[in-house]
Structure 1
Protein backbone atom coordinates (compact mmCIF):
# COMPACT_ATOMS: atom_id res chain seq x y z
CA UNK A 1 0.00 0.00 0.00
CA UNK A 2 2.91 2.35 0.71
CA UNK A 3 3.95 2.12 -2.93
CA UNK A 4 0.47 3.11 -4.06
CA UNK A 5 0.41 6.06 -1.64
CA UNK A 6 3.74 7.30 -3.05
CA UNK A 7 2.44 6.87 -6.60
CA UNK A 8 -0.72 8.85 -5.83
CA UNK A 9 1.27 11.67 -4.21
CA UNK A 10 3.65 11.88 -7.18
CA UNK A 11 0.73 11.94 -9.61
CA UNK A 12 -0.89 14.80 -7.71
CA UNK A 13 2.35 16.79 -7.49
CA UNK A 14 2.91 16.45 -11.24
CA UNK A 15 -0.54 17.81 -12.04
CA UNK A 16 0.18 21.54 -12.34
CA UNK A 17 -3.47 22.49 -12.90
CA UNK A 18 -4.52 20.56 -9.81
CA UNK A 19 -1.77 22.16 -7.72
CA UNK A 20 -2.81 25.64 -8.87
CA UNK A 21 -6.42 25.17 -7.79
CA UNK A 22 -5.53 23.48 -4.50
CA UNK A 23 -2.48 25.48 -3.38
CA UNK A 24 -2.49 28.91 -5.05
CA UNK A 25 -6.16 29.49 -5.85
CA UNK A 26 -7.35 29.67 -2.18
CA UNK A 27 -4.59 32.16 -1.34
CA UNK A 28 -5.54 34.26 -4.39
CA UNK A 29 -9.18 34.20 -3.26
CA UNK A 30 -8.13 35.36 0.19
CA UNK A 31 -6.35 38.35 -1.36
CA UNK A 32 -9.39 39.18 -3.51
CA UNK A 33 -11.98 38.77 -0.73
CA UNK A 34 -10.40 38.94 2.71
CA UNK A 35 -7.44 41.04 1.59
CA UNK A 36 -9.71 43.94 0.70
CA UNK A 37 -11.09 44.14 4.25
CA UNK A 38 -9.58 46.45 6.81
CA UNK A 39 -7.95 44.73 9.74
CA UNK A 40 -10.64 45.83 12.20
CA UNK A 41 -13.69 44.97 10.08
CA UNK A 42 -15.59 42.61 12.41
CA UNK A 43 -17.16 39.22 11.78
CA UNK A 44 -18.98 36.70 13.98
CA UNK A 45 -20.80 39.41 15.87
CA UNK A 46 -17.73 41.61 16.14
CA UNK A 47 -15.61 38.98 17.88
CA UNK A 48 -13.20 38.37 14.99
CA UNK A 49 -11.62 40.60 12.31
CA UNK A 50 -13.06 39.79 8.90
CA UNK A 51 -9.58 39.19 7.45
CA UNK A 52 -8.96 36.54 10.13
CA UNK A 53 -12.37 35.00 9.40
CA UNK A 54 -11.50 34.69 5.70
CA UNK A 55 -8.06 33.31 6.48
CA UNK A 56 -9.61 30.26 8.14
CA UNK A 57 -12.39 30.09 5.54
CA UNK A 58 -9.99 30.08 2.59
CA UNK A 59 -7.57 27.65 4.26
CA UNK A 60 -10.51 25.31 4.84
CA UNK A 61 -11.70 25.89 1.27
CA UNK A 62 -8.26 25.01 -0.09
CA UNK A 63 -8.07 21.79 1.89
CA UNK A 64 -11.61 20.89 0.81
CA UNK A 65 -10.66 21.52 -2.81
CA UNK A 66 -7.63 19.25 -2.58
CA UNK A 67 -9.37 16.27 -1.03
CA UNK A 68 -12.80 16.49 -2.66
CA UNK A 69 -11.89 17.44 -6.22
CA UNK A 70 -8.74 15.33 -6.15
CA UNK A 71 -10.52 12.12 -5.13
CA UNK A 72 -13.91 12.09 -6.80
CA UNK A 73 -13.02 12.72 -10.42
CA UNK A 74 -9.84 10.65 -10.37
CA UNK A 75 -11.54 7.60 -8.85
CA UNK A 76 -14.45 7.79 -11.31
CA UNK A 77 -12.06 7.95 -14.25
CA UNK A 78 -9.89 5.13 -12.92
CA UNK A 79 -12.98 2.94 -12.58
CA UNK A 80 -13.95 3.71 -16.18
CA UNK A 81 -10.41 2.99 -17.42
CA UNK A 82 -10.20 -0.34 -15.60
CA UNK A 83 -7.36 0.70 -13.26
CA UNK A 84 -9.32 -0.15 -10.13
CA UNK A 85 -10.20 -3.56 -11.59
CA UNK A 86 -6.50 -4.22 -12.24
CA UNK A 87 -5.62 -3.31 -8.66
CA UNK A 88 -8.14 -5.85 -7.42
CA UNK A 89 -6.06 -8.56 -9.10
CA UNK A 90 -3.10 -7.68 -6.88
CA UNK A 91 -2.59 -8.41 -3.19
CA UNK A 92 -3.73 -4.87 -2.31
CA UNK A 93 -6.83 -5.03 -0.09
CA UNK A 94 -9.81 -2.91 -1.01
CA UNK A 95 -9.35 -0.65 1.98
CA UNK A 96 -5.76 -0.06 0.87
CA UNK A 97 -6.90 1.65 -2.32
CA UNK A 98 -9.30 3.90 -0.42
CA UNK A 99 -6.71 4.72 2.26
CA UNK A 100 -4.12 5.52 -0.42
CA UNK A 101 -6.51 8.02 -2.00
CA UNK A 102 -7.29 9.67 1.33
CA UNK A 103 -3.63 9.80 2.38
CA UNK A 104 -2.39 11.30 -0.89
CA UNK A 105 -5.14 13.93 -0.85
CA UNK A 106 -4.30 14.83 2.76
CA UNK A 107 -0.63 15.33 1.88
CA UNK A 108 -1.51 17.71 -0.96
CA UNK A 109 -4.01 19.64 1.18
CA UNK A 110 -1.39 20.68 3.75
CA UNK A 111 0.47 23.16 1.47
CA UNK A 112 -2.80 24.91 0.61
CA UNK A 113 -3.42 25.58 4.32
CA UNK A 114 0.10 26.83 4.98
CA UNK A 115 0.18 29.11 1.90
CA UNK A 116 -3.06 30.85 2.94
CA UNK A 117 -1.69 31.38 6.47
CA UNK A 118 1.57 32.85 5.15
CA UNK A 119 -0.23 35.18 2.72
CA UNK A 120 -2.63 36.33 5.46
CA UNK A 121 0.19 37.00 7.92
CA UNK A 122 2.29 38.91 5.38
CA UNK A 123 -0.42 40.94 3.63
CA UNK A 124 -2.86 41.56 6.50
CA UNK A 125 -0.53 41.37 9.47
CA UNK A 126 -2.55 38.65 11.20
CA UNK A 127 -0.76 37.64 14.37
CA UNK A 128 -1.60 34.65 16.51
CA UNK A 129 0.09 32.68 19.26
CA UNK A 130 2.33 29.81 18.18
CA UNK A 131 -0.12 27.27 19.63
CA UNK A 132 -2.95 28.82 17.62
CA UNK A 133 -1.07 28.51 14.31
CA UNK A 134 -0.24 24.88 15.12
CA UNK A 135 -3.77 24.08 16.28
CA UNK A 136 -5.32 25.77 13.23
CA UNK A 137 -3.14 23.76 10.88
CA UNK A 138 -3.93 20.54 12.72
CA UNK A 139 -7.72 20.89 12.91
CA UNK A 140 -8.14 22.12 9.32
CA UNK A 141 -5.92 19.33 8.05
CA UNK A 142 -7.64 16.66 10.15
CA UNK A 143 -11.09 18.01 9.33
CA UNK A 144 -10.38 17.70 5.61
CA UNK A 145 -10.53 13.90 5.99
CA UNK A 146 -14.32 14.24 6.20
CA UNK A 147 -14.38 15.62 2.66
CA UNK A 148 -11.76 13.15 1.47
CA UNK A 149 -14.22 10.39 2.42
CA UNK A 150 -16.97 12.27 0.59
CA UNK A 151 -14.75 12.48 -2.50
CA UNK A 152 -14.19 8.71 -2.45
CA UNK A 153 -17.94 8.13 -2.12
CA UNK A 154 -18.73 10.41 -5.07
CA UNK A 155 -16.02 8.71 -7.14
CA UNK A 156 -17.75 5.35 -6.67
CA UNK A 157 -21.25 6.77 -7.04
CA UNK A 158 -20.97 8.47 -10.44
CA UNK A 159 -19.41 7.70 -13.81
CA UNK A 160 -16.28 9.30 -15.23
CA UNK A 161 -18.35 11.58 -17.48
CA UNK A 162 -20.53 12.94 -14.71
CA UNK A 163 -17.94 13.09 -11.92
CA UNK A 164 -16.84 16.67 -12.57
CA UNK A 165 -20.29 18.34 -12.78
CA UNK A 166 -21.61 16.40 -9.79
CA UNK A 167 -18.54 17.22 -7.72
CA UNK A 168 -18.65 20.89 -8.72
CA UNK A 169 -22.29 21.17 -7.63
CA UNK A 170 -21.52 19.56 -4.26
CA UNK A 171 -18.29 21.55 -3.92
CA UNK A 172 -19.80 25.00 -4.51
CA UNK A 173 -23.00 24.27 -2.59
CA UNK A 174 -21.10 23.18 0.52
CA UNK A 175 -18.63 26.06 0.23
CA UNK A 176 -21.23 28.77 -0.29
CA UNK A 177 -23.94 27.55 2.07
CA UNK A 178 -21.47 26.50 4.76
CA UNK A 179 -19.99 29.98 5.10
CA UNK A 180 -16.61 29.56 3.39
CA UNK A 181 -17.33 32.39 0.96
CA UNK A 182 -19.13 34.78 3.30
CA UNK A 183 -20.34 34.82 6.91
CA UNK A 184 -23.64 32.97 7.23
CA UNK A 185 -24.96 35.87 9.36
CA UNK A 186 -25.83 37.67 6.12
CA UNK A 187 -28.13 34.81 5.04
CA UNK A 188 -31.87 34.68 5.70
CA UNK A 189 -32.74 33.04 9.00
CA UNK A 190 -34.01 29.84 7.38
CA UNK A 191 -30.78 29.49 5.42
CA UNK A 192 -28.71 30.09 8.55
CA UNK A 193 -30.57 27.21 10.22
CA UNK A 194 -29.76 24.97 7.25
CA UNK A 195 -26.10 26.04 7.15
CA UNK A 196 -25.63 25.15 10.81
CA UNK A 197 -26.09 21.47 9.91
CA UNK A 198 -23.64 21.41 7.01
CA UNK A 199 -20.17 19.88 7.47
CA UNK A 200 -18.45 22.93 5.97
CA UNK A 201 -20.03 25.20 8.59
CA UNK A 202 -18.73 23.01 11.42
CA UNK A 203 -15.39 22.67 9.62
CA UNK A 204 -14.81 26.43 9.46
CA UNK A 205 -16.07 26.82 13.04
CA UNK A 206 -13.18 24.67 14.33
CA UNK A 207 -10.61 27.21 13.18
CA UNK A 208 -12.69 30.21 14.17
CA UNK A 209 -12.93 28.94 17.75
CA UNK A 210 -9.15 28.58 17.91
CA UNK A 211 -8.65 32.10 16.53
CA UNK A 212 -10.86 33.36 19.37
CA UNK A 213 -8.56 31.60 21.84
CA UNK A 214 -10.82 28.70 22.80
CA UNK A 215 -11.14 25.02 21.99
CA UNK A 216 -13.40 23.89 19.13
CA UNK A 217 -16.99 23.35 20.23
CA UNK A 218 -17.90 19.76 20.99
CA UNK A 219 -21.03 20.08 18.83
CA UNK A 220 -18.94 20.96 15.75
CA UNK A 221 -16.53 18.09 16.38
CA UNK A 222 -19.44 15.67 16.87
CA UNK A 223 -21.15 16.85 13.68
CA UNK A 224 -17.98 16.37 11.64
CA UNK A 225 -17.41 12.93 13.18
CA UNK A 226 -20.96 11.93 12.24
CA UNK A 227 -20.45 13.13 8.67
CA UNK A 228 -17.14 11.26 8.46
CA UNK A 229 -18.80 8.02 9.52
CA UNK A 230 -21.60 8.64 7.03
CA UNK A 231 -19.29 9.43 4.11
CA UNK A 232 -16.74 6.72 4.93
CA UNK A 233 -19.48 4.14 5.42
CA UNK A 234 -21.09 5.18 2.15
CA UNK A 235 -17.73 4.95 0.36
CA UNK A 236 -17.11 1.45 1.77
CA UNK A 237 -20.58 0.28 0.75
CA UNK A 238 -20.21 1.73 -2.76
CA UNK A 239 -16.78 0.11 -3.09
CA UNK A 240 -18.18 -3.31 -2.19
CA UNK A 241 -21.09 -2.76 -4.59
CA UNK A 242 -18.67 -1.81 -7.35
CA UNK A 243 -16.57 -4.90 -6.58
CA UNK A 244 -19.59 -7.17 -7.02
CA UNK A 245 -20.31 -5.59 -10.42
CA UNK A 246 -16.71 -6.24 -11.51
Structure 2
Protein backbone atom coordinates (compact mmCIF):
# COMPACT_ATOMS: atom_id res chain seq x y z
CA UNK A 1 0.00 0.00 0.00
CA UNK A 2 2.89 2.37 0.76
CA UNK A 3 4.23 1.87 -2.75
CA UNK A 4 0.84 2.74 -4.23
CA UNK A 5 0.66 5.90 -2.13
CA UNK A 6 4.09 7.03 -3.32
CA UNK A 7 3.12 6.33 -6.93
CA UNK A 8 -0.13 8.29 -6.61
CA UNK A 9 1.59 11.27 -4.99
CA UNK A 10 4.31 11.47 -7.65
CA UNK A 11 1.74 11.21 -10.45
CA UNK A 12 -0.38 13.98 -8.98
CA UNK A 13 2.53 16.36 -8.43
CA UNK A 14 3.48 16.01 -12.10
CA UNK A 15 -0.01 17.07 -13.13
CA UNK A 16 -0.01 20.76 -14.13
CA UNK A 17 -3.78 21.03 -13.69
CA UNK A 18 -3.35 19.97 -10.08
CA UNK A 19 -0.75 22.69 -9.54
CA UNK A 20 -3.14 25.35 -10.88
CA UNK A 21 -6.44 24.34 -9.36
CA UNK A 22 -5.27 23.19 -5.95
CA UNK A 23 -2.48 25.73 -5.40
CA UNK A 24 -3.06 28.87 -7.46
CA UNK A 25 -6.84 28.85 -7.87
CA UNK A 26 -7.80 29.19 -4.17
CA UNK A 27 -5.07 31.80 -3.61
CA UNK A 28 -6.29 33.86 -6.58
CA UNK A 29 -9.89 33.67 -5.31
CA UNK A 30 -8.80 34.64 -1.81
CA UNK A 31 -6.91 37.71 -3.05
CA UNK A 32 -9.61 38.79 -5.51
CA UNK A 33 -12.55 38.38 -3.13
CA UNK A 34 -10.80 40.07 -0.21
CA UNK A 35 -9.19 42.84 -2.29
CA UNK A 36 -12.08 45.28 -1.94
CA UNK A 37 -12.69 44.58 1.76
CA UNK A 38 -10.76 47.02 3.92
CA UNK A 39 -12.72 46.75 7.15
CA UNK A 40 -11.67 44.46 9.96
CA UNK A 41 -15.17 44.31 11.38
CA UNK A 42 -16.54 40.82 12.11
CA UNK A 43 -18.57 39.17 9.36
CA UNK A 44 -22.08 38.55 10.69
CA UNK A 45 -21.97 36.62 13.95
CA UNK A 46 -18.72 34.80 13.14
CA UNK A 47 -16.55 37.16 15.28
CA UNK A 48 -13.96 36.93 12.48
CA UNK A 49 -12.75 39.54 10.04
CA UNK A 50 -13.23 38.92 6.33
CA UNK A 51 -9.52 38.12 5.86
CA UNK A 52 -9.60 35.52 8.64
CA UNK A 53 -12.91 33.99 7.61
CA UNK A 54 -11.94 33.59 3.99
CA UNK A 55 -8.45 32.32 4.74
CA UNK A 56 -9.93 29.18 6.30
CA UNK A 57 -12.62 28.97 3.60
CA UNK A 58 -10.13 29.14 0.72
CA UNK A 59 -7.67 26.75 2.42
CA UNK A 60 -10.54 24.29 2.80
CA UNK A 61 -11.64 24.98 -0.78
CA UNK A 62 -8.13 24.29 -2.10
CA UNK A 63 -7.83 21.08 -0.11
CA UNK A 64 -11.18 19.86 -1.46
CA UNK A 65 -10.05 20.70 -5.00
CA UNK A 66 -7.02 18.47 -4.78
CA UNK A 67 -8.69 15.50 -3.11
CA UNK A 68 -12.16 15.41 -4.68
CA UNK A 69 -12.01 16.48 -8.31
CA UNK A 70 -8.61 15.05 -9.22
CA UNK A 71 -9.15 11.83 -7.29
CA UNK A 72 -12.51 11.01 -8.86
CA UNK A 73 -11.31 11.67 -12.41
CA UNK A 74 -8.16 9.58 -12.01
CA UNK A 75 -10.07 6.62 -10.61
CA UNK A 76 -12.69 6.68 -13.37
CA UNK A 77 -9.95 6.77 -16.03
CA UNK A 78 -7.99 4.00 -14.30
CA UNK A 79 -11.08 1.80 -14.34
CA UNK A 80 -11.54 2.36 -18.08
CA UNK A 81 -7.88 1.60 -18.80
CA UNK A 82 -7.93 -1.57 -16.71
CA UNK A 83 -5.43 -0.34 -14.10
CA UNK A 84 -7.66 -1.22 -11.14
CA UNK A 85 -8.27 -4.66 -12.65
CA UNK A 86 -4.50 -5.20 -12.70
CA UNK A 87 -4.22 -4.09 -9.08
CA UNK A 88 -6.82 -6.66 -8.08
CA UNK A 89 -4.50 -9.37 -9.39
CA UNK A 90 -1.94 -8.36 -6.76
CA UNK A 91 -2.04 -8.99 -3.00
CA UNK A 92 -3.51 -5.51 -2.40
CA UNK A 93 -6.92 -5.92 -0.68
CA UNK A 94 -9.90 -3.78 -1.63
CA UNK A 95 -9.88 -1.76 1.58
CA UNK A 96 -6.15 -1.20 1.05
CA UNK A 97 -6.79 0.33 -2.36
CA UNK A 98 -9.44 2.70 -0.99
CA UNK A 99 -7.23 3.64 1.97
CA UNK A 100 -4.26 4.27 -0.35
CA UNK A 101 -6.34 6.58 -2.55
CA UNK A 102 -7.56 8.56 0.45
CA UNK A 103 -4.09 8.77 2.00
CA UNK A 104 -2.36 9.84 -1.21
CA UNK A 105 -5.00 12.50 -1.85
CA UNK A 106 -4.60 13.84 1.69
CA UNK A 107 -0.83 14.07 1.25
CA UNK A 108 -1.09 16.26 -1.84
CA UNK A 109 -3.71 18.54 -0.22
CA UNK A 110 -1.18 19.87 2.28
CA UNK A 111 0.62 22.27 -0.13
CA UNK A 112 -2.64 24.02 -1.04
CA UNK A 113 -3.39 24.64 2.65
CA UNK A 114 0.09 26.01 3.35
CA UNK A 115 0.05 28.34 0.32
CA UNK A 116 -3.28 29.92 1.31
CA UNK A 117 -2.12 30.39 4.91
CA UNK A 118 1.14 31.96 3.74
CA UNK A 119 -0.86 34.33 1.51
CA UNK A 120 -3.07 35.34 4.42
CA UNK A 121 -0.08 36.04 6.66
CA UNK A 122 2.04 37.87 4.05
CA UNK A 123 -0.55 39.82 2.07
CA UNK A 124 -3.64 40.14 4.27
CA UNK A 125 -2.01 40.76 7.62
CA UNK A 126 -3.41 37.67 9.34
CA UNK A 127 -1.78 37.11 12.72
CA UNK A 128 -2.42 34.07 14.88
CA UNK A 129 -0.64 32.29 17.71
CA UNK A 130 1.69 29.44 16.80
CA UNK A 131 -0.70 26.84 18.25
CA UNK A 132 -3.52 28.21 16.10
CA UNK A 133 -1.50 27.91 12.89
CA UNK A 134 -0.51 24.35 13.74
CA UNK A 135 -4.04 23.41 14.80
CA UNK A 136 -5.49 24.90 11.60
CA UNK A 137 -3.05 23.02 9.39
CA UNK A 138 -3.70 19.73 11.17
CA UNK A 139 -7.47 20.14 11.28
CA UNK A 140 -7.97 21.18 7.65
CA UNK A 141 -5.49 18.56 6.44
CA UNK A 142 -7.15 15.75 8.40
CA UNK A 143 -10.61 16.93 7.37
CA UNK A 144 -9.70 16.70 3.69
CA UNK A 145 -9.83 12.89 4.06
CA UNK A 146 -13.63 13.16 4.16
CA UNK A 147 -13.69 14.64 0.65
CA UNK A 148 -10.98 12.29 -0.56
CA UNK A 149 -13.31 9.42 0.34
CA UNK A 150 -16.13 11.14 -1.58
CA UNK A 151 -13.80 11.44 -4.57
CA UNK A 152 -13.10 7.70 -4.48
CA UNK A 153 -16.83 6.95 -4.31
CA UNK A 154 -17.61 9.23 -7.27
CA UNK A 155 -14.74 7.71 -9.24
CA UNK A 156 -16.30 4.26 -8.86
CA UNK A 157 -19.89 5.40 -9.34
CA UNK A 158 -19.35 7.33 -12.59
CA UNK A 159 -17.99 6.51 -16.02
CA UNK A 160 -15.03 8.34 -17.51
CA UNK A 161 -17.29 10.64 -19.51
CA UNK A 162 -19.67 11.46 -16.66
CA UNK A 163 -17.23 11.73 -13.77
CA UNK A 164 -16.15 15.34 -14.35
CA UNK A 165 -19.61 16.95 -14.36
CA UNK A 166 -20.68 14.84 -11.36
CA UNK A 167 -17.52 15.75 -9.44
CA UNK A 168 -17.87 19.45 -10.32
CA UNK A 169 -21.51 19.54 -9.23
CA UNK A 170 -20.56 17.97 -5.90
CA UNK A 171 -17.50 20.24 -5.62
CA UNK A 172 -19.21 23.58 -6.28
CA UNK A 173 -22.52 22.55 -4.72
CA UNK A 174 -20.92 21.63 -1.40
CA UNK A 175 -18.58 24.64 -1.51
CA UNK A 176 -21.36 27.16 -2.10
CA UNK A 177 -24.01 25.58 0.13
CA UNK A 178 -21.49 24.92 2.90
CA UNK A 179 -20.38 28.56 3.01
CA UNK A 180 -16.84 28.22 1.64
CA UNK A 181 -17.40 30.65 -1.22
CA UNK A 182 -20.04 32.88 0.41
CA UNK A 183 -20.66 33.34 4.15
CA UNK A 184 -23.79 31.53 5.29
CA UNK A 185 -24.70 34.62 7.34
CA UNK A 186 -26.47 35.95 4.22
CA UNK A 187 -28.47 32.78 3.64
CA UNK A 188 -32.21 32.53 4.35
CA UNK A 189 -32.97 30.83 7.65
CA UNK A 190 -34.18 27.58 6.05
CA UNK A 191 -31.00 27.36 3.96
CA UNK A 192 -28.82 27.99 6.99
CA UNK A 193 -30.38 24.97 8.70
CA UNK A 194 -29.53 22.79 5.69
CA UNK A 195 -25.99 24.18 5.46
CA UNK A 196 -25.28 23.33 9.11
CA UNK A 197 -25.42 19.61 8.30
CA UNK A 198 -23.22 19.69 5.20
CA UNK A 199 -19.63 18.41 5.49
CA UNK A 200 -18.17 21.61 4.03
CA UNK A 201 -19.90 23.77 6.66
CA UNK A 202 -18.62 21.56 9.47
CA UNK A 203 -15.16 21.49 7.85
CA UNK A 204 -14.88 25.29 7.77
CA UNK A 205 -16.53 25.57 11.18
CA UNK A 206 -13.72 23.66 12.87
CA UNK A 207 -11.14 26.03 11.40
CA UNK A 208 -13.13 29.12 12.31
CA UNK A 209 -13.41 27.97 15.92
CA UNK A 210 -9.62 27.63 16.11
CA UNK A 211 -9.19 31.12 14.64
CA UNK A 212 -11.42 32.51 17.39
CA UNK A 213 -9.37 30.66 20.00
CA UNK A 214 -12.31 28.41 20.87
CA UNK A 215 -12.48 24.66 21.20
CA UNK A 216 -13.82 23.15 17.95
CA UNK A 217 -17.48 22.20 18.30
CA UNK A 218 -18.34 18.57 18.90
CA UNK A 219 -21.28 18.81 16.49
CA UNK A 220 -19.03 19.72 13.57
CA UNK A 221 -16.61 16.92 14.45
CA UNK A 222 -19.43 14.35 14.63
CA UNK A 223 -20.81 15.53 11.28
CA UNK A 224 -17.42 15.20 9.58
CA UNK A 225 -16.70 11.77 11.03
CA UNK A 226 -20.18 10.59 10.03
CA UNK A 227 -19.65 11.73 6.46
CA UNK A 228 -16.22 10.05 6.41
CA UNK A 229 -17.81 6.74 7.43
CA UNK A 230 -20.57 7.15 4.82
CA UNK A 231 -18.26 8.15 1.96
CA UNK A 232 -15.59 5.56 2.76
CA UNK A 233 -18.24 2.87 3.16
CA UNK A 234 -19.78 3.82 -0.19
CA UNK A 235 -16.34 3.78 -1.84
CA UNK A 236 -15.58 0.30 -0.46
CA UNK A 237 -18.99 -1.02 -1.54
CA UNK A 238 -18.62 0.42 -5.04
CA UNK A 239 -15.12 -1.07 -5.27
CA UNK A 240 -16.46 -4.52 -4.41
CA UNK A 241 -19.34 -4.05 -6.85
CA UNK A 242 -16.88 -3.09 -9.59
CA UNK A 243 -14.83 -6.16 -8.74
CA UNK A 244 -17.82 -8.46 -9.26
CA UNK A 245 -18.45 -6.91 -12.68
CA UNK A 246 -14.93 -7.53 -13.99
Whole-Å separation in 2 of the counterparts to 1:204 and 1:108: 19
- Structure 2: gaps of 5 or more residues: none
Is 1:2 aligned to residue 5 of structure 2?
no
Partner of 1:200: 200
Partner of 1:153: 153
Q: How does 1:223-238 map to 2 (within 5 A)?
A: 223-238=223-238
Partner of 2:68: 68
TM-score, normalization by structure 1: 0.97
Is 1:212 aligned to residue 223 of structure 2?
no
Partner of 2:172: 172
1:128, distance to aligned residue in structure 2 (A):
0.2
Structure 1 residues 46, 171: CA separation in 2 closer, same or farther (over 3 Å shift)? closer
Whole-Å separation in 1 of the counterparts to 2:33 and 2:208: 17
Q: Structure 1 residue runs of 4+, over 4 Å off?
A: none
Do 1:177 and 1:195's aligned partners in 2 also have CA atoms closer than 8 Å? yes
Do 1:60 and 1:180's aligned partners in 2 also have CA atoms closer than 8 Å? yes
1:39, distance to aligned residue in structure 2 (A):
4.8
Whole-Å separation in 1 of the counterparts to 2:64 and 2:46: 26
TM-score, normalization by structure 2: 0.97
Whole-Å separation in 1 of the counterparts to 2:197 and 2:7: 36
1:183-228 C-alpha deviation (Å, 9 max, x unpaired): 1010111111111111000000000000000111000000111111
Do 1:41 and 1:51's aligned partners in 2 also have CA atoms closer than 8 Å? no
Whole-Å separation in 2 of the counterparts to 1:81 and 1:202: 36
Is 1:191 aligned to residue 207 of structure 2?
no
Whole-Å separation in 2 of the counterparts to 1:77 and 1:136: 33
Q: How does 1:28-39 map to 2 (within 5 A)?
A: 28-39=28-39
Structure 1 residues 61, 46: CA separation in 2 closer, same or farther (over 3 Å shift)? closer
1:91, distance to aligned residue in structure 2 (A):
1.6
* Higher mean C-alpha displacement, 93-102 vs 128-137: 93-102
Whole-Å separation in 1 of the counterparts to 2:229 and 2:73: 21
Whole-Å separation in 2 of the counterparts to 1:46 and 1:87: 47
- Structure 1: gaps of 5 or more residues: none
Partner of 2:115: 115
